[in-house]
Chains A and B, each alone.
Chain A
Amino acid sequence: MSLRLYDYELDENGYKVRLALGALGLACETVGVDMVPGAEQTRPPLIDLNPLGTLPILVDGDTVLREAEAILAYLARRYDSAGTWLPQEPVAFGETLMWLAFATRELHAATLARRAALFDLPGDGPALEGRARAAFRVMEDHITLRGFSGLDWFAGTGPTIADLALFPAFALSRDFGIDHEAYPGLRRWSRRVRGLPGFRTMPGIPDYH
């Protein structure tokens, strides 16, 4: 096994993959990419690895994958021998995929809002912020309701890659002006994520709390 990750340290999608590598205890060579301001991922040689010109990109032998959520699913299926991070059990599996879709679609607004705020990239700040708040509210309602059934995580009964895919947008939301005031359930869930073995931080996420 020799994993290589093309990544930009401030990118929350790359951070999702770093969280999974940590959780699974996997060694990985990281290739730093100048995403801002260089947009190096949109030019050769990286554009030949991923024609979409996006990060992160994971290379594992002959396998080349893009899309953080797909990379999480691959890493879990391939290297999590206990099979808990991407559960086999049908309901937990369905729930995990449902929240992975949420992380790529609803939370994309949070990604764009953060890029607009941090990197001065174009984006309608207030509209994106409103969509991010709406998404966080859905998450808050979900995790709060599950708490009454004794369930601490987004899908299934234990932590899954859904939690890892959802965590960065919320944990980094202060970067684009959304405080954690209105999300007590997500605050407590974040604390559980931080307590997972192998948890890693990134700039904007202090390593204590």
Chain B
Amino acid sequence: MDEPEGWYAVALGADIEPSTSAGTRLFGHELVVWRDAGGAVHVWEDRCPHRGMRLSFGFVRGDHIACLYHGWRYDTAGQCRFIPAHPDLEVSPMIRTRTYPCRERAGLIWVRWGAPAEEAEPAPVAASPLRSLYLEAPAARLAAALGEAGPDGLVRFDLAGSPVLVAVQPLAGEASAAHIVVPDTPEAPEADLGRLAAACVTLRRSIEGAAP
């Protein structure tokens, strides 16, 4: 799978609550997305260096994430800080996970894939979370149905008569996700979100049903 470098949305910010983690994929690579108790998000390779267990199965305590298998605890820099079986051990700096640059923008959590970005951070966008749609369709088919993304990674799309912003996440092969937010405008009523969320189901059906 071609892996163009850039920023990719991996979740709605609201779906990763403080002190929780979730597993996801980008181009088939397993990632853990987690938010520490202070609210900062982190996107790492989803692998404990000890036994290869997925860290997304583990748990967040304060500003550490711990592996489900043996409780090895990692700080926000991905450095292992504590090994329960050897509580007095000063953990080697070699024991660390692979971390990726990440940020929150437009109500979405983004990860940088490929070489670190040189460009200036794009202007913030005020938006309300709608939902993440997970589709059994390759990312290319989403792009064909939704349109191409702008330089900030967001597709401007008309969903049932309302403007929404969509970020496509290529999960793996035939699986992809569309993270959808509604730009905040004074005239957009809050109650409209339910109608748009229902329209997402129709959109998913139409994309999955489209000829490859």
Q: Footprint of B on A, CB under 8 Å?
A: 141, 144-145, 148-149, 174, 179-185, 187-188, 191, 206, 208-209
Contacts and interface: CB of A to CB of B under 8 A. Distances in A.
Given A144-B197, A149-B194, A208-B59, A184 B132 contact: yes
B24 A187 contact: no
A179 B177 CA distance: 14
A148 B194 contact: yes
Instruction: Find the residue from A144, A174, A183 having the highest chain B CB count within 10 A.
Output: A144
B198 interface: yes
Given A144-B131, A180-B23, A206 B68 contact: yes
Interface stretch (B12-20, B75-83, B88-96, B155-163): B12-20
A149 B134 CA distance: 22
A181 B17 contact: no
The 6 closest A-B pairs by CB, nearest first: A182-B134, A148-B194, A184-B15, A208-B59, A148-B193, A181-B24
Contact of B23 (A145, A149, A181): A181
A13 to B, nearest CB: 24
Instruction: Find the residue from A145, A181, A206, A208 having the highest chain B CB count within 10 A.
Output: A181
Nearest to B198: A145
Nearest to A183: B134
Interface string B1-44: 00000000001100101001011110000000000000000000
B184 to A, nearest CB: 16
A185 B24 CA distance: 14
A148 B22 CA distance: 22
Interface of B: 11-12, 15, 17, 20, 22-25, 57, 59, 68, 131-132, 134, 171, 177, 193-194, 197-198, 201
A184 B11 contact: yes
Nearest to B179: A184
24 contacts: A141-B201, A144-B131, A148-B193, A148-B194, A149-B194, A174-B57, A181-B22, A181-B23, A181-B24, A181-B25, A181-B171, A184-B15, A184-B22, A184-B132, A185-B131, A187-B20, A188-B15, A191-B17, A191-B20, A206-B59, A206-B68, A208-B59, A209-B20, A209-B59
Contacts of A182: 134, 177
B157 to A, nearest CB: 19
Contact of A145 (B11, B57, B197): B197
Contacts of B193: 148
A179 B23 contact: yes
A191 B35 CA distance: 15
B197 A187 contact: no
Contacts of A145: 194, 197-198
A181 B134 contact: yes
A184 B131 CA distance: 9
Contacts of A188: 15, 17
